[in-house]
Amino acid sequence: MKTILEIQNLKCGGCANTISKKVSNIEDVTALEINNENNTVSFNYENESTVNKVKELLNNIGYPVVGDKNALTTKAKSFVSCAIGRMNN
Protein backbone atom coordinates (compact mmCIF):
# COMPACT_ATOMS: atom_id res chain seq x y z
CA MET A 1 0.00 0.00 0.00
CA LYS A 2 1.05 3.59 -0.49
CA THR A 3 0.43 6.63 1.65
CA ILE A 4 1.15 10.32 1.26
CA LEU A 5 1.52 12.42 4.40
CA GLU A 6 1.40 16.21 4.27
CA ILE A 7 3.78 17.49 6.94
CA GLN A 8 4.62 20.77 8.64
CA ASN A 9 7.98 22.59 8.90
CA LEU A 10 9.52 21.07 5.74
CA LYS A 11 11.73 23.87 4.44
CA CYS A 12 14.63 22.59 2.39
CA GLY A 13 16.87 19.78 1.21
CA GLY A 14 18.44 19.56 4.66
CA CYS A 15 15.05 18.76 6.14
CA ALA A 16 14.39 16.21 3.40
CA ASN A 17 17.79 14.60 3.97
CA THR A 18 17.13 14.14 7.69
CA ILE A 19 13.63 12.78 7.05
CA SER A 20 14.94 10.38 4.42
CA LYS A 21 17.68 9.00 6.66
CA LYS A 22 15.40 8.57 9.68
CA VAL A 23 12.32 7.17 7.93
CA SER A 24 14.40 4.78 5.81
CA ASN A 25 15.44 3.04 9.03
CA ILE A 26 11.85 1.97 9.74
CA GLU A 27 11.31 -1.61 8.70
CA ASP A 28 8.59 -2.04 6.04
CA VAL A 29 9.09 1.45 4.48
CA THR A 30 9.91 1.30 0.77
CA ALA A 31 9.82 3.73 -2.17
CA LEU A 32 10.28 6.74 0.15
CA GLU A 33 9.90 10.15 -1.50
CA ILE A 34 10.08 13.60 0.10
CA ASN A 35 8.63 16.52 -1.88
CA ASN A 36 9.69 19.96 -0.60
CA GLU A 37 7.32 21.82 -2.91
CA ASN A 38 4.21 19.98 -1.70
CA ASN A 39 5.44 19.36 1.87
CA THR A 40 4.76 15.65 1.49
CA VAL A 41 6.35 12.37 2.46
CA SER A 42 5.17 9.33 0.52
CA PHE A 43 6.10 5.70 0.94
CA ASN A 44 4.94 2.16 0.41
CA TYR A 45 4.29 -0.26 3.27
CA GLU A 46 2.73 -3.64 4.01
CA ASN A 47 1.72 -3.35 7.68
CA GLU A 48 -0.79 -0.65 8.69
CA SER A 49 1.15 0.04 11.92
CA THR A 50 4.03 1.34 9.80
CA VAL A 51 2.08 4.54 9.01
CA ASN A 52 1.73 5.32 12.71
CA LYS A 53 5.43 4.61 13.29
CA VAL A 54 6.36 7.06 10.52
CA LYS A 55 3.97 9.73 11.86
CA GLU A 56 5.42 9.35 15.36
CA LEU A 57 8.99 9.56 14.09
CA LEU A 58 8.23 12.62 11.97
CA ASN A 59 6.68 14.34 14.98
CA ASN A 60 9.67 13.44 17.16
CA ILE A 61 12.13 15.04 14.73
CA GLY A 62 10.01 18.18 14.23
CA TYR A 63 7.84 17.44 11.20
CA PRO A 64 4.29 16.69 12.43
CA VAL A 65 1.55 15.75 10.00
CA VAL A 66 -0.72 18.65 9.01
CA GLY A 67 -3.51 18.88 11.58
CA ASP A 68 -1.31 17.68 14.45
CA LYS A 69 -0.04 20.08 17.11
CA ASN A 70 2.95 22.14 15.93
CA ALA A 71 4.23 23.72 19.14
CA LEU A 72 7.25 25.99 19.38
CA THR A 73 9.31 23.06 20.70
CA THR A 74 8.36 21.01 17.63
CA LYS A 75 9.40 23.86 15.34
CA ALA A 76 12.71 24.09 17.21
CA LYS A 77 13.28 20.36 16.65
CA SER A 78 12.71 20.86 12.92
CA PHE A 79 15.39 23.58 12.82
CA VAL A 80 17.87 21.24 14.50
CA SER A 81 16.92 18.38 12.16
CA CYS A 82 17.31 20.72 9.20
CA ALA A 83 20.77 21.82 10.30
CA ILE A 84 21.89 18.22 10.83
CA GLY A 85 20.51 17.30 7.41
CA ARG A 86 22.47 20.12 5.79
CA MET A 87 25.71 19.06 7.48
CA ASN A 88 25.23 15.42 6.49
CA ASN A 89 24.20 16.20 2.92
Q: Which of 7, 17, 5, 2 is nearest to 86 (CA)?
A: 17
Count of domains in the chain?
Answer: 1
When pLDDT is cut at 50, 70 and 90, the band that residue 72 belongs to is very high
pLDDT at position 85: 83
Q: Which of 59, 82, 81, 83 is nearest to 71 (CA)?
A: 59
Q: Which helix (H) or strand (E) holds 44?
A: strand 40-44
When pLDDT is cut at 50, 70 and 90, the band that residue 88 belongs to is confident
Q: What is the CATH number of the domain that holds 79?
A: 3.30.70.100
Helical H runs in the chain?
13-24, 49-60, 72-87
Q: Long-range CB contacts (< 8 A, 24+ apart) of 33-36?
A: 34/10, 36/10, 36/11, 36/12
pLDDT digits (tens, 9 = 90+) for 5-53: 999 999 999 999 999 999 999 999 999 999 999 999 999 999 999 999 9
Check pLDDT > 80 for residue 89.
Answer: no
pLDDT digits (tens, 9 = 90+) for 56-65: 999 999 999 9
Domain that holds residue 67: 2-87
